[in-house]
Structure 1
Amino acid sequence: MFFFTLLFISPPHIVSRTILDHQAFTQPATKIAIKNHNIQSFINAGIGTKMLGIAQFKRYLTRFGYIPMYNNTFTDEFDDKFEVGLIRYQQRLGLQVTGKLDSNTVSQMMIPRCGVSDTTTHNNHHHITKHFMYFPGKPRWSRPMPRTLTYAFSPVNMIHSLSMLEIREAFQRAFFKWASVIPVSFVEAEDYGFAEIKIGFYIGDHGDGEPFDGVLGVLAHSFSPESGRLHLDAAETWAVDFGVTKSEMAVDLESVATHEIGHILGLSHSSVKEAVMYPSLRPRDKRANLNIDDIKGVQSLYGSNPKFRSGWLLESDLSANQGVQFGVKPLSLVASFIFFSFAHTLCACLS
C-alpha cells in the first residue's frame, strides 16, 4: 500500500515540552514538526545525545521501515539503533552517509514522498536489483502477454477543481508512458465495478486502513498487483498546468498518477533520483517521464513492448507522444558525428 506524503512544517523547534509532546501525540509519523531554520540544531547530535525532537525522527524512520519498532515508545535520545536507521536511510535515498541528522538528511525527510516502506528488516523478502525494487513475492498481472488492463474513475469519489477531461487526459498520458515500453495496454472502461484498475479521490478515512489526512499530508496510495486500487487525496491542490494553478502547494497529477501506476504494475521504489519510482516529489515539480531505471524494472516483470526500440532512437520516437526518457539525445549524437567527421577531414588535410 503506497501513498505520497508531504511533511508538514509545524511551529518552531524551540517550544515548551508540553506543546511538543502534544504535537508528538497528534503528529503523524510521516511528518516532521520542525522549522527550516532549526534544522541546524540537530547536526551535532550523536550517540548518547538527548535533544528535544529526536523522537519524531525515530517515528519517521520506523514508519518507513529503517529501524525496528520501539514498542510505540520513542524517546529523545540518539541511540545506536537510531544511528543505524539513519545510515540505512541515507544509503537508500542516495544521500551522503554520515549517520547524523545533517541538513540534507533532515531536508529530505521534509519533502513530499511515497508512504511505502523503502526497506524492511528482512531484505530477503524483496527482490533487490541495483536500483529498482519489486514488492515482496514479485507480484505482477499474471495473464498472458500482450495484455489489456481496464481502468475506470469512481462515479462518486472525484474532485471538481479539475475538469473530468483534464483528469482523464493526465491519466491517459501516465498510462501511455508504461504502455510504450511493455506489452500491456490500458483502456478506460465505462463500468467502474468491473474495471481492473479503480481510480478515485477520497477524503479522510475511506475504508482501506490508510486514511488521508487533508492538505499537505498523504497525497495518494495504491496497491500491488492484482488489487488495482489507486486512491488520491481529494483535499490536495491537484494541478495539470502550473501556469494555471499558482498555489505553492500544487501537486502535479500526471507525475503522481505515473508513479502510482508503477506500483499498480508491481514496482516498488527506485533509488535513482531521476526515476518516476523514486519516493520523493516536491510541490510544483514534475517528474512524469520514465527513466531507464523505470523501464528496466517494469520490463523485467512484463517483457518489452514489440514496438519498443532501445538506444537513442527511442527518445526521438516517443518524445512527440509524451514518451519516455532513455538513452542519448539524437541531436547530441548528430553533433558528435559532425564534429568527429570534421576533425578527421582536417587531420587528413594537414597530414
Structure 2
Amino acid sequence: MLPVLSRVHDPHLRPNGLSGNNTKPSPFGFLKAMQGCRKGDTEKGIRDLKLYLARFGYLNYQKNPNVTDLEEDHFDEELEVAIKSYQVFYHLNATGTLDGPTVSQMAMPRCGCPDKVTHKHTDHNSLHTVSHYQFLPGTPKWTRSQLTYGFGPSFPAQFMPAVDRAFGKWATASSGYFTFSRAGSYEGADLKISFERGDHGDGYPFNGSGEVLAHAFPPPDGRFHYDADENWVIGAVQGAFDVETLALHEIGHLLGLGHSQFQDAIMWSTLASGVTKGLSPDDIQGLDTLYGI
C-alpha cells in the first residue's frame, strides 16, 4: 500500500536497512506462462488468474481457494468477459484472451486497492468520455477538512519529509479546502501511515516484492500501509520505488478517490520502478467533484 541522502539514493536499502535483493519469484509470475490462453482452454494457473481478477474488482469469484478442480482451471465465458473489462479499463485491445500486452499490464507492480467495486457487464458503456477519475465504493468522504496524520513507530525518519510533501500537494490541489498536520501521536491521528510486511492484520497481506506496493483504506478508516519488502527511495532510482509518488497515490484513496483510467493520473493503479509522478488535472478534478470544491 513513501533525509539521509546516502541511504535514500541506494536502491538496495530497505527501510530496516536490510539489503533489497530478493530472489523470491514475483507472485504475478504465473501470468507469463499463461500468455495466449483463451476461452475453452483448461490449464493450470487459470484459477490464479480468476483470483487475480476477483481481487482487483473484475470478477465475482467466491469459490474456496483451497479447492482445486478442473472447472477452476477452465477458461469460461465469465472469465473472458472479465478480461475484456480489464482490457477496456487499461486501454488495451479488448480481445478477451490473455495476450502479451494484457500479461505485461497485469504483471506490473501496483496498488493493492481494487480498480472496480465488482465486475459488471455494462462497464464498457459507462466509461467517462473526458474525465477518468473514479470514487471508491459508496462514495465515502470526510465530513471535515482539517485532518491529522501520524507515522507508525517503525516508519523510517528519512522518508517522512517525502510524505509531508505529498500531503502538501494535495492540500494545494484542494485550493486550501484540506489542511493536513502531523498529529501528536500515531494512535490519535486521523490518517495512520506505516510500513508493514506479509500478513499484518488488516485482511490484505502483502506477498513480498514485485506485486502490491502499498494500499490504503477509504474514509473514515485512514490506514495507509507501504510494503516493507519493496525497495523504497526518494526520487527516480531504477529498481526502486519513490516514496512520495506512492504517498500521493495512497492519499488519494484516503480522501475517497478510486483508480483512474487516465495513465498520467497519480490515481492510475500501477507504477514502474524508477519513475516519479505528480498530480494531474484528472486527479484534481476528481477531488473537486467529490467534495464540491
Matched, 1:232 2:226: yes
Query: Would you tell me which structure has more helix in proportion to its own residues?
Result: 1
Name 1:110's counterpart in structure 2: 107
Shift of 1:211: 2.3
Name 1:179's counterpart in structure 2: 171
User: What amino acid is aligned across from residue 146 of structure 2 in structure 1?
Assistant: T
Shift of 1:59: 2.1
Contact 2:108–2:211, Cα closer than 8 Å, also in 1: no
Q: 1:276 aligns with which of 238, 244, 266?
A: 266
Shift of 1:70: 5.4
Name 2:276's counterpart in structure 1: 286
Shift of 1:193: 2.0
Shift of 1:110: 0.4
Contact 2:195–2:227, Cα closer than 8 Å, also in 1: yes
Shift of 1:205: 2.4
Name 2:141's counterpart in structure 1: 140
Q: Aligned equivalents of 2:31 and 2:120: distance in 1? A: 31
Change (3 A) 1:257 1:278: same
Which structure 2 segments of 5+ residues have no match? 2-21
Residue-by-residue CA offset, 1:148-202 (whole Å, 9 max, x unaligned): 2111112x2324xxxx1x3122112211221112110111123222111111112
Name 1:295's counterpart in structure 2: 284
Matched, 1:150 2:148: yes
Q: Aligned equivalents of 1:215 and 1:10: distance in 2? A: 8
Q: Aligned equivalents of 1:282 and 1:92: distance in 2? A: 18
Query: Which protein shows a greater Rg?
Result: 1
Q: Aligned equivalents of 1:135 and 1:9: distance in 2? A: 35
Q: What is the percentage of aligned positions where both structures have the same residue?
A: 42
Normalization by structure 1: what TM-score?
0.67
Shift of 1:259: 0.4
User: What amino acid is aligned across from residue 153 of structure 1 in structure 2?
Assistant: F
Q: Aligned equivalents of 2:159 and 2:253: distance in 1? A: 19
Change (3 A) 1:181 1:293: same
Secondary structure of 1:198's counterpart equals strand
Name 1:209's counterpart in structure 2: 203
User: What amino acid is aligned across from residue 134 of structure 2 in structure 1?
Assistant: M
Kindly indicate whether structure 1 or structure 2 has the higher relative contact order, using CA contacts under 8 Å at least 6 residues apart: 2
Name 1:81's counterpart in structure 2: 78
Change (3 A) 1:193 1:94: same
Pairing of 1:153-164 with structure 2 (within 5 A):
153-154=151-152, 156-159=153-156, 164=157
Secondary structure of 2:85's counterpart equals helix
Matched, 1:252 2:242: yes
Residue-by-residue CA offset, 1:14-72 (whole Å, 9 max, x unaligned): xxxxxxxxxxxxx96xx24255xx56xx32x3322233433332221122221221523
Secondary structure of 1:101's counterpart equals coil
Matched, 1:195 2:183: no
Shift of 1:292: 1.0
Which structure 1 segments of 5+ residues have no match? 12-26, 305-351
User: What amino acid is aligned across from residue 138 of structure 1 in structure 2?
Assistant: T
Residue-by-residue CA offset, 1:286-316 (whole Å, 9 max, x unaligned): 22x1111101101112244xxxxxxxxxxxx
Contact 2:39–2:97, Cα closer than 8 Å, also in 1: no
Change (3 A) 1:110 1:175: same
Name 1:92's counterpart in structure 2: 89
Pairing of 1:10-49 with structure 2 (within 5 A):
31-35=28-32, 38=33, 42-43=35-36, 45-49=37-41
Change (3 A) 1:57 1:206: closer
Q: Tell me the C-alpha RMSD between the 2 structures.
A: 2.7
Mean CA deviation greater in 82-91 or 134-143: 134-143
Mean CA deviation greater in 87-96 or 211-220: 211-220
